[in-house]
Amino acid sequence: MTESNHRGIRVAQAGLLINLVLVLVKLTSGIVGHTYALIADAAESSVDIFSSIIVWRGLSIASKPADEDHPFGHGRAEPLAAAIVSLMLLAAAVGIAVAAVREILTPHQIPHRFTLFVAAGVILVKETLYRRVFQVGDEMGSTAVRADAWHHRSDAISSGAAFVGIALARLGGPGWESADDWAALVAASIIAINGFMMLQPAIDDLMDRVPDGPVVEQIGRAATSVHGVLAIEKLRVRKLGTDYYVDLHVQADPELSLFDAHILSGKVKAAIRTAVPAVSGASIHMEPFED
């Protein structure tokens, strides 16, 4: 297992433990403090627990080496985990919205003051966790870890909505009891948007879409920098988990011997892997240069 995968698994495990604590705190506070916004927030955090487990397992499977049944490795487990996590985010948004509407139609008490401090504390913890997890996911190029980070950001957003709703309910007094429920409904909408945003890149990876960013250009520049490479064509790059696989046609002097062409292709592979260390496999096709 690579060091980057280890980092991804560690942040997923840390998120899991933190979410376990937050679920208990928010659920207890929501019930005792008469605020459905915190109860909905606890439900979203419980989904985060399962999402962290899925990311953990996805990265563990993706890091397994290639075998006879999986000659290209197990990298697809990583975007598959990201897609599942994104769908769970959408499901959580729907569940929160349905329950919020039900609570809006049901008369209940004004939330207690202490629930404001609970919501504020959760916002601080989850936003800090989001920034840390997203940084790790960005550094390792993991769609699944970034999706897990957005789960934490969504939790911070829903807690922020809960804070606003509780504050409005307490300031407004009688007649404003359902303000925190409306806040939960707004939070559900934001969570759903985030779910759709994270689902798209996961689907792109599963469908072998051209990777975003400068990676394709970097690979092309590295190949053409090798002495003896006269032109390149049909540069194709696909992402499997956190790794890239390259299919490249290189044009060289037609007078090269088969042995020299083989040596040149090896130099091209080395240059590509030096420029983009995340490239795990490169298939180089040698062709005669045609002016």
pLDDT of residue 7: 75
Burial class (CB in 10 A: 0-12, 13-18, 19+), 103: buried
**218 — pLDDT class (breaks 50, 70, 90):** very high
- Domain residues of the chain, as ranges? 3-206, 215-288
State the pTM of this model. 0.69
**C-alpha atoms less than 13 angstroms from C-alpha of 284 in its C-beta half-sphere:** 25
| CATH number at 215-288 | 3.30.70.1350
Pick the CATH number of 3-206 from 1.20.1510.10, 1.10.287.610, 3.30.420.40, 3.40.50.720: 1.20.1510.10
198 with 90: CB under 8 angstroms?
no
pLDDT tens readout for residues 84-97: 888 888 887 888 78
User: Can you give the pLDDT at residue 267?
Assistant: 94
Q: How confident is the model at residue 223 (pLDDT cuts 50, 70, 90)?
A: very high
Poorest-pLDDT segment among 2-11, 135-144, 210-219: 2-11
b/e burial code for range 225-238 (CB count within 10 A of at least 16 → b): ebeebeebeebebb
Q: Mean pLDDT, the chain, as a whole number?
A: 83
HSE-up of residue 87 (Cα within 13 Å, Cβ side): 9
